[in-house]
A and B are shown apart, each in its own frame.
Chain A
Amino acid sequence: MKFLDKIFRFAGGIAPDGHKGETAGIPLRRLPRPRSITVSMSQHIGAPSVPCVKVGDRVLRYQRIGDAAGTVSSAVHTPFSGVVKSIAPSSTASTRVAAAVTIAVDPEDAGTDDSLRPIDWRSATHDEIVARVRDAGIVGAGGAGFPTAVKLSPPPGRSIDTVIVNGAECEPYLNGDNRPMVERAADIWTGAQIIRRAVGASRVVIGIEDNKPVAIKAMSEAIGTGDGEIAVLPHSYPQGSEKHIIHSVTGRTVQTGHLPADVGCLVENVWTVVSITRALEQGIPSVIRTLTIGGDAIASPANFAAPIGAMVPDIIAAAGGFRTQPAKAICGGPMMGVAMPDLEVPITKTCSGLLFFTAASVHEFGSGSCIGCGRCIGACPMGLMPAEISQAVEANDLALAEKLKVMNCFECGSCAYVCPAHRPLVQHNRRAKAIIGARLRARK
């Protein structure tokens, strides 16, 4: 193990109040077995999966209940045994609507589907590892939910020399990546080596923000004398963005429209890496994800290793319920998460947090006109000029917005966070991206 000497700082970024301490020291807990789960067929980016069970079917724990619908799609499994009660469109915590399989969970576990057998990854080939990752339904746990098997198969002519395990977790409040690094560091180190073997990389670097000293210590102990490196990154939002962690660790810049593989890098979230270890060593598909439930409306903020399909109210109940009625509910982190209009929804593989805030801590602002202070320009980690883009969007000049590279925006929200006039900068970018994106697709 060695610590990286040189970290390449990216330009821009912000330092919001982390609120990490509220749950950083709380160990991961399992959720009490729910009576019912609703497993969405849209656990990922890409085509929703196709249910492969029927209403009334008995399902075993870890049984596949949804098949991948194409390459950029994923298999879905059930975390519990039970009976399929219904298959109907449903929303999710991340507000994606798709067919969902509702299962009445057996009070006692009634058997496990063991069709995925453990694999000795040390002798496995690239194809065997990728096939297992695909069969286990592993998708990026960082938020986007991109099917991991696709990432492990770089396009022809591209080779990967550096595997980066993303433990930056720059979003405030969340510890769903921090806790696995503390508690399951060995699994993360194993998974990192599996990925390195799969893609034939020479380096493995674990990137962790410096506000997680316990995780850094645990990871360095897990790696021991192994040839893994740890990059202690300055805590600066959005350090966990794929392009930014690549830059911080390697100094390489992923050009617009290019992939990490184009600069020889592969980035995987820490929980994705744990899922890979479980899938190979134990033959367990991706049915659990870690998440933080917090915010000032929650009685006992906590970290859970929660089964996918678990309903949000069950998770709230496991965290002691509401201390005060919330005014705002967010799935994910406060910076990039989405507001949940309805709480009767299940979590998915991409749900990194459930945050509930009281009216007292939710600030609602009217937006003023841009005074040209330029803070958004200093904050944008993509080097954009949000103030100018925003004014172009207001003037309906989308050609100018496109020229100002609005399509490069990944909606991290740093600009809106620093704007003293509280302008809806991210919303303007989203609007421009949606319209310009539709035009680009129509042109093709």
Chain B
Amino acid sequence: MLDVIVALVPALVASVWFFGARALVLECTCVAACVASEWASRRVMGRPDTTGDLSAVVTGLLLAFNLPPDLPPLLAAVGSAFAIVVAKQFYGGLGYNPFNPALAGRVFLLLSFTGAMTTWSASGWVGAADLLTTATPLPPDAVTTATPLGFAKGGIRAGAAAFAMTPSLCWRMFLGDINGCIGETSSLAILAGGLYLMWRKVISWRIPVAFIGSVAAYAAILRLAAPAVAMPVSFHLLAGGLFLGAFFMATDMVTSPTTPAGQIIFGICCGVLTMLIRTIASGSYPEGVSFSILVMNAFVPLVNRFTRKTPFGESNA
């Protein structure tokens, strides 16, 4: 777990760099609330204390990374308590939870406090306006407060066309200079952490590569089929929480398949579901990473079961 925390440090630094002290406040709140919830719930249940395994710290950091910068800290604490108590300890604690606790906490907040969870402060980051190359009229609030993904989905609906990703825009999005949740914007920082985890052999390449690869493939097909309205591949890769989800959430060992083949299937399904939600699903959510991972979490036992290895000496000649 210490390795995961180390791997999250670059994204933590990036969040403070781009969003300032309020990001640090959210992160500290979530970590403290998660650890406190873990300690208290184990105590109430009469079970041994497990705060020492640091998994609550990881959950706290990941949940904070999935929150918008202006969320009131109190709500962040409520989400943390839900993540630890309901999504994790009610199932028996570390190792027994079917759903990723941090994502469960985020979705709980999203459904309960939709307004607060989808309010994005306008700023100097790459926002909606930068993506607009033609003077297509759009409601002013869409330009000032939407995340790029929200804008893309809304824009496509509104019939806006011709989005372009210039190299400089690409670079700014890669660095993290965009609107979004505090820990998800910097693909660079997350990539650094993800590579560290692979180097330390904490995670394998399978889920991140399958996840990001299938998003890229899906986006490429869409772009070829409908160049007028589909966003470029680079946009889909760098916008939203794809990297954070693919490297840190989908790879959560407890809630992802244990078999090599299962991990590939899991990653691909996460990617396809993400793109379905981003581009086709008619709901109001522009981003599909969280939902796709949570949906796939539910399929993990089944995926494991159907991808069991053939034992050595069991007619594999």
Q: Is the CB of B315 within 8 A of A372?
A: no
Q: Is the CB of B311 within 8 A of A369?
A: no
Contact among B258, B309, B317 for A383, CB-based, below 8 A: B309
B253 at interface, CB cutoff 8 A: yes
A115 at interface, CB cutoff 8 A: no
> Size of chain A's interface in residues, with CB distance under 8 A?
30
Question: Interface 1/0s, chain B 238-259, versus A by CB < 8 A?
Answer: 0000000000000001111111
User: In the complex the two chains form, what is the Cα distance from A256 to B314 in whole Å?
Assistant: 6
A313 at interface, CB cutoff 8 A: no
Which of B30-38, B88-96, B268-276 makes up part of the contact surface?
B88-96
User: In the complex the two chains form, what is the Cα distance from A188 to B148 in whole Å?
Assistant: 73
The distance from the CB of B299 to the nearest CB of chain A, in whole angstroms, is 14
A126 at interface, CB cutoff 8 A: no
Question: Interface 1/0s, chain A 113-143, versus B by CB < 8 A?
Answer: 0000000000000000000000000000000
B43 at interface, CB cutoff 8 A: no
A368 at interface, CB cutoff 8 A: yes
Please indicate the chain B residues that have their CB under 8 angstroms from the CB of A256 in the complex: 311, 313-314
Q: Is the CB of A385 within 8 A of B309?
A: yes
- Knowing A377-B258, A387-B258, the reply to whether A368 touches B53 (Cβ < 8 A) is yes
Q: Is the CB of B258 within 8 A of A374?
A: yes
User: In the complex the two chains form, what is the Cα distance from A373 to B314 in whole Å?
Assistant: 24
Q: Is the CB of A369 within 8 A of B93?
A: yes
Q: Is the CB of A372 within 8 A of B311?
A: no
A322 at interface, CB cutoff 8 A: no
User: In the complex the two chains form, what is the Cα distance from A383 to B312 in whole Å?
Assistant: 5
User: In the complex the two chains form, what is the Cα distance from A243 to B314 in whole Å?
Assistant: 13
User: In the complex the two chains form, what is the Cα distance from A383 to B260 in whole Å?
Assistant: 12
Please indicate the chain B residues that have their CB under 8 angstroms from the CB of A378 in the complex: 260
Interface residues of A in 370-400 (CB under 8 A from B): 370-374, 377-378, 381-385, 387-388
Please indicate the chain A residues that have their CB under 8 angstroms from the CB of B304 in the complex: 388
Contact among A12, A385, A388, A405 for B314, CB-based, below 8 A: A405
A317 at interface, CB cutoff 8 A: no
B310 at interface, CB cutoff 8 A: yes
User: In the complex the two chains form, what is the Cα distance from A359 to B57 in whole Å?
Assistant: 32
A427 at interface, CB cutoff 8 A: no
The distance from the CB of B252 to the nearest CB of chain A, in whole angstroms, is 9
- When C-beta atoms are compared, the residue in chain A nearest to B317 turns out to be A253
Q: Is the CB of A369 within 8 A of B94?
A: yes
Please indicate the chain A residues that have their CB under 8 angstroms from the CB of B311 in the complex: 256, 382-384, 405, 408
Please indicate the chain A residues that have their CB under 8 angstroms from the CB of B95 in the complex: 368-372, 421
Q: Is the CB of B258 within 8 A of A382?
A: no
A436 at interface, CB cutoff 8 A: no
Q: Is the CB of A382 within 8 A of B53?
A: no
Contact among B254, B260, B314 for A371, CB-based, below 8 A: B254
Interface residues of B in 265-317 (CB under 8 A from A): 304, 308-317
The distance from the CB of B276 to the nearest CB of chain A, in whole angstroms, is 26
Q: Is the CB of B313 within 8 A of A369?
A: no
- Knowing A377-B259, A387-B258, A405-B314, the reply to whether A368 touches B94 (Cβ < 8 A) is yes
User: In the complex the two chains form, what is the Cα distance from A258 to B312 in whole Å?
Assistant: 12
Interface residues of A in 348-380 (CB under 8 A from B): 368-374, 377-378
Please indicate the chain A residues that have their CB under 8 angstroms from the CB of B53 in the complex: 368
- When C-beta atoms are compared, the residue in chain B nearest to A12 turns out to be B312
Please indicate the chain A residues that have their CB under 8 angstroms from the CB of B263 in the complex: 374
- When C-beta atoms are compared, the residue in chain A nearest to B308 turns out to be A385
Interface residues of B in 47-65 (CB under 8 A from A): 53
- Knowing A370-B95, A371-B95, the reply to whether A408 touches B259 (Cβ < 8 A) is no
A218 at interface, CB cutoff 8 A: no
User: In the complex the two chains form, what is the Cα distance from A368 to B47 in whole Å?
Assistant: 13
Please indicate the chain A residues that have their CB under 8 angstroms from the CB of B259 in the complex: 374, 377, 385
User: In the complex the two chains form, what is the Cα distance from A254 to B257 in whole Å?
Assistant: 29
A225 at interface, CB cutoff 8 A: no
The distance from the CB of B272 to the nearest CB of chain A, in whole angstroms, is 23
Please indicate the chain B residues that have their CB under 8 angstroms from the CB of A374 in the complex: 253, 257-260, 263
User: In the complex the two chains form, what is the Cα distance from A404 to B256 in whole Å?
Assistant: 20
Please indicate the chain B residues that have their CB under 8 angstroms from the CB of A404 in the complex: 308
Please indicate the chain B residues that have their CB under 8 angstroms from the CB of A255 in the complex: 313-315
Please indicate the chain A residues that have their CB under 8 angstroms from the CB of B316 in the complex: 253, 383
- When C-beta atoms are compared, the residue in chain B nearest to A254 turns out to be B313
- Knowing A377-B259, A387-B258, the reply to whether A369 touches B96 (Cβ < 8 A) is yes
The distance from the CB of A261 to the nearest CB of chain B, in whole angstroms, is 15
Q: Is the CB of B312 within 8 A of A253?
A: yes
- When C-beta atoms are compared, the residue in chain B nearest to A404 turns out to be B308
User: In the complex the two chains form, what is the Cα distance from A243 to B311 in whole Å?
Assistant: 13
- When C-beta atoms are compared, the residue in chain B nearest to A373 turns out to be B253
Q: Is the CB of B258 within 8 A of A408?
A: no
13 of the cross-chain contacts (CB-CB < 8 Å) are: A256-B314, A258-B313, A368-B95, A369-B92, A372-B254, A372-B256, A374-B259, A374-B263, A378-B260, A383-B310, A384-B309, A388-B258, A408-B311
The 10 lowest CB-CB distance pairs between A and B, nearest first, are A374-B258, A369-B95, A373-B253, A383-B311, A383-B312, A256-B313, A405-B311, A382-B312, A383-B309, A371-B95
- If A255-B315, A383-B312, A405-B314 are given as contacts, then 11 extra A-B residue pairs at C-beta distance below 8 Å, sorted by A number, are A12-B312, A371-B94, A372-B258, A374-B253, A374-B259, A374-B263, A383-B311, A384-B309, A385-B258, A388-B258, A408-B312
Residue positions of A touching B, CB distance < 8 A: 10-12, 243, 247, 253-256, 258, 368-374, 377-378, 381-385, 387-388, 404-405, 408, 421
